[in-house]
Amino acid sequence: MVKVLTFDKAIEDSKAFRERHLLLGNGFSIACDSRFDYRSLLQKAKSSNAFSKRNNIPKVFTKMQTKDFEQVIKILEDASKVSKIYNKSSPYAVKMIKDAKALKNILIGTIVSTHPDTPQAIDSNKFADCREFLKYFLRDEEMGGGEIYTLNYDFLLYWARVHERPRLGNDGFGRKNGALIWSNADQQTVHYLHGALHLYDDGFDLCKHSWTPGSPLRHQVLNAISSDKFPLFVAEGKSEQKLLKIKNDEYLRHCYDNFVYSMGQPNDALFIFGHSLKNKDKHILNCIAEGKIPRIYVDLHGKATLKRNVDKITFAMRLKARRLNGYPLEVKFFDAKTAKIWG
């Protein structure tokens, strides 16, 4: 049986380190609003024309007994490769690749359409609590913080950061010729490792949609998508494919390299919140196993004996066992509920 700390105890425990970093997974968003759960997204997607037009996509979800978009994308991509072995001219390989690409776009559209319109749709007290949580992980707050890394695509982290002044952290974007352009990489402390809905390439620069009165982010993104300006978004099915896309994009590569650098610091610590610790993101988790960071704090939601937590504990301990470079890795666990991220 593992020992589970409260969040406050984990923070106190981490004061022995120079900086503490934060890695956020989808549980961060689900803790605020359950509509960000993949199960909720699938229900929403099923009502869209794009989903129903692709007759085989719903059948794959049913056959594989999953609600995970990324898993189905991976299955389709893998199956297309295998089918070519049996029949190089098979039309099904092409169809599966097209369905995988369509499903990525469906996922983007579903997240955007499901997303709350404005930050006013969320209780202001939730943002206040979230900001207090984030302050532990930002260097400029002088609380032992460092860098924030997120694998989420939604607006919640952005909204929390700008909810009131001072804005928390620096996402690397600055205003230039009336647009918000990624240009301050050296000052960046907030990193979207897999992109985000409000980030897009205008053909010359990586730009950011920003909330303004009368022009909600969600509407800006939907309008941009209708003009074939899709968000910067990593939704490949396999970890290797995700890493390939990351390394072929300047912004994503910078964020990834920054994470690798942080994981190589022998005097820092990492908190992981809301991530299931699964191989679909092993390109990120490998950085921990292969780094020098001496301690990670992993959240558990509910009793440690629950299957999802047993799986997470097992994976975390495997990361520890893989650390064979002379810099031992220690793993500690904390109760997610006690972090009170959204109150």
Task: State the pLDDT at residue 92.
Answer: 83
Number of separate helices (H) and strands (E) present in the chain = 15, 12
User: Do residues 126 and 142 both lie within one domain?
Assistant: yes
Return d(Cα 271, Cα 285) in angstroms, integer: 13
pLDDT in tens, 227-275: 777 888 887 777 888 899 899 999 999 999 999 999 999 999 999 999 9
By residue range, what is the domain housing residue 102? 38-114
Of 185, 150, 154, residue with least CA distance to 170: 185
Task: State the pLDDT at residue 173.
Answer: 94
pLDDT in tens, 164-189: 888 999 999 998 887 899 988 889 99
**Are 133 and 341 contacting, i.e. CB atoms less than 8 angstroms apart?**
yes
User: Do residues 211 and 330 both lie within one domain?
Assistant: yes
Cα separations in angstroms, 339 against 280, 295, 333, 334: 26, 18, 12, 9
DSSP for 115-143? S-SSGGGS-HHHHHHHHHHHGGGBGGGTS
User: Do residues 302 and 223 both lie within one domain?
Assistant: yes
User: Do residues 138 and 221 both lie within one domain?
Assistant: yes
SS3 297: strand
**Are 300 and 336 contacting, i.e. CB atoms less than 8 angstroms apart?**
yes
**Are 330 and 321 contacting, i.e. CB atoms less than 8 angstroms apart?**
no
Mean pLDDT of 84-88: 80
For 169, phi then psi, to 5°, come to: 75, 180
User: Do residues 155 and 279 both lie within one domain?
Assistant: yes
User: Do residues 261 and 295 both lie within one domain?
Assistant: yes
Mean pLDDT of 73-97: 84
Of 154, 259, 244, residue with least CA distance to 199: 154
SS3 229: coil
Domain edge (last residue) among 114, 130, 156: 114
Return d(Cα 128, Cα 256) in angstroms, integer: 29
Mean pLDDT of 124-139: 94
Q: Per the structure, how many domains does the chain have?
A: 2
Burial class (CB in 10 A: 0-12, 13-18, 19+), 340: middle
Cα separations in angstroms, 65 against 16, 58, 59, 186: 45, 11, 10, 44
Higher pLDDT, 304 or 225: 304
76 membership: H or E segment, kind and range: helix 69-86
SS3 262: helix
- The highest-confidence range among 89-93, 117-121, 181-185, 291-295, by mean pLDDT, is 291-295
Domain edge (last residue) among 114, 138, 166: 114
User: Do residues 105 and 137 both lie within one domain?
Assistant: no
Does residue 80 register a pLDDT over 70? yes
Q: What is the mean pLDDT of the chain?
A: 89
Supply 278's token pair: 């699964």
What's the pLDDT band for 207 if we cut at 50, 70, 90?
Answer: very high
Rg (C-alpha) for the chain, rounded Å, is 20
User: Do residues 94 and 158 both lie within one domain?
Assistant: no
